[in-house]
Structure 1
Amino acid sequence: MSDPILRLSGIEKVYKRGKPGEVQVLRGASLSIARGEVVALVAPSGAGKSTLLHIAGLLDQPDAGTVEIGGEAMQDRSDRRRTAVRRADVGFVYQFHHLLPEFTALENIVLPQLANGASRAEAEARAKGLLDSVGLSDRADHRPAALSGGEQQRVAFCRAMANAPRLLLADEPTGNLDPETSERVFAVLLDLVRDTGLSAVIATHNLELAARMDRRVRLEAGKLHPV
């Protein structure tokens, strides 16, 4: 695979769990994601998919192995550089929306842009465009508590896209929704990803949703295998 946006090579992660000893969650996991590719990460609960996504998104460090984003090896970079790359190049979506409750939908999308150096006018214009793209223009001034679960998660998608990342990492992004809403919200996410041409790794238990992505990999016994 030429010029991948994300390359994980030989990733290992061990957690110390007190007296019983260590638990090795990742055992040499390797994965390359091409630019514009959407990959489904399938794994049973407790297999380590959240750990893998955190390492891929520079939220955690592996005990061994390398992480490259856009061809840049990140394991020896300073915390400042890792934070800068994460803020500019990586977007995260979780099972729970984690929106800031005291801010409106629009403000939740504006804030990460301001933190990344955008002007207020630029940030608001992009936020409004993103909300429009997911059908929520009329909900811009609503706080999260006034939104439905599906609307909250669509706002979370927009927030993840706020700084125009090159890589989206989503951890069970529709896992907290009922099946009908999950299907509708997932379609919005997939359209958003396709329209912007970014790369994505989307963890899901839903094999029907996984089948709609470009490729599927399974995390099992600490390693990644093609499905």
Structure 2
Amino acid sequence: MSDPVLSLSGLTKSYKRGTPGEVTVLRGADLEIAAGEVVALVAPSGAGKSTLLHIAGLLDTPDSGIVRISGQDMSGRSDRRRTATRRRDVGFVYQFHHLLPEFTALENVALPQLANGASEAEAQARATDLLARVGVAERADHRPAALSGGEQQRVAFCRALANAPRLLLADEPTGNLDPGTSDQVFGALMDLVTGTGMSALIATHNLELAARMDRVLRLEDGAITPVE
């Protein structure tokens, strides 16, 4: 059996926030995601899901515990090594699209590939293909301000997948959209993820969307438990 794409073991994390002092958000959290598995993470507000995703994606470090990506223990790795692993293996999607406003949709999806060493022709070809998969190919030459909220988020999905990561981490990826648009955009994301065979951990408040994934986990009181 191959190693899990993502393995989190015994993660703890606390922050100092003045009075009343330290706040603990993770208390021995454990999680494994297999290759090709799409997992939902539901949590009450302030439970620490963004912290968990940042640690899983090597943007933050736990106080204790182990993060493994594709079987590789990332504990004690240098910032350079962590950054290289993140660029190669992890894609991020946030509630807000964070597209670069001065660039077109096509350019926003091509830029991460260029930064990763792809040729301009290769980057544009993959960007065009990804945009077509989520139904916004005809909007490729438009800048973010000219796109609807749903279109902006679809482009953000494509940018996250531009370098073909093994793992996608998404934090409330449809949280800024109305229910109808949210359902359509989430469907586009699921098609994109399952079509490429990658793994995904998707945080959402929407239980209907969560039910469409392979498994649902709950983060509460610093621990992760399955939702039956």
User: 2 CA distance for matches of 1:204 and 1:85?
Assistant: 25
* Matching residue of 2:216: 216
Q: Secondary structure of 1:68's partner?
A: strand
Q: Deviations over 1:117-154 (max 9, x none)?
A: 11111111100010111111110110000000000000
Distance between the aligned counterparts of 2:100 and 2:167, measured in 1?
23
| Equivalent position of 2:13 in the other structure | 13
Task: Report SS of the residue matched to 1:190.
Answer: helix
**Residue aligned with 1:35, SS:** coil
1:46 corresponds to: 46
Provide the C-alpha distance between the structure 1 equivalents of 2:117 and 2:77, rounded to a whole number of angstroms. 21
Whether 1:113 aligns to 2:125 is no
Give the paired residue count.
227
Structure 1 vs Structure 2 CA RMSD: 0.8
* Greater Cα shift, 16-25 or 130-139: 16-25
Structure 1 stretch 149-158 or stretch 119-128: which is displaced more? 119-128
Task: Report the residue type matching 1:99 in the other structure.
Answer: L
Sequence identity (%): 78
Q: Return the alpha-carbon distance in structure 1 between the equivalents of residues 139 and 88 of structure 2.
A: 26
Please, which runs of 5 or more residues in structure 1 have no aligned partner?
Answer: none
Rounded to whole Å, the distance in 1 between the matches of 2:139 and 2:2 is 41
CA displacement at 1:188 relative to structure 2 = 0.4
Number of the residue aligned with 1:142: 142
* 1:101 match: secondary structure: coil
Amino acid at match of 1:208: E
Write the distance in 2 (CA, Å) between the matches of 1:136 and 1:193. 16
**Divergent runs of 4+, >3 A:** none
Which TM-score applies when normalising by structure 2?
0.98
Amino acid at match of 1:14: S
CA distance in 1, matches of 2:153, 2:85: 24
Structure 2 unmatched runs, 5+: none
Q: Which moved more, 1:148-157 or 1:130-139?
A: 130-139
TM alignment of 1:1-227, pairs within 5 A: 2-227=2-227
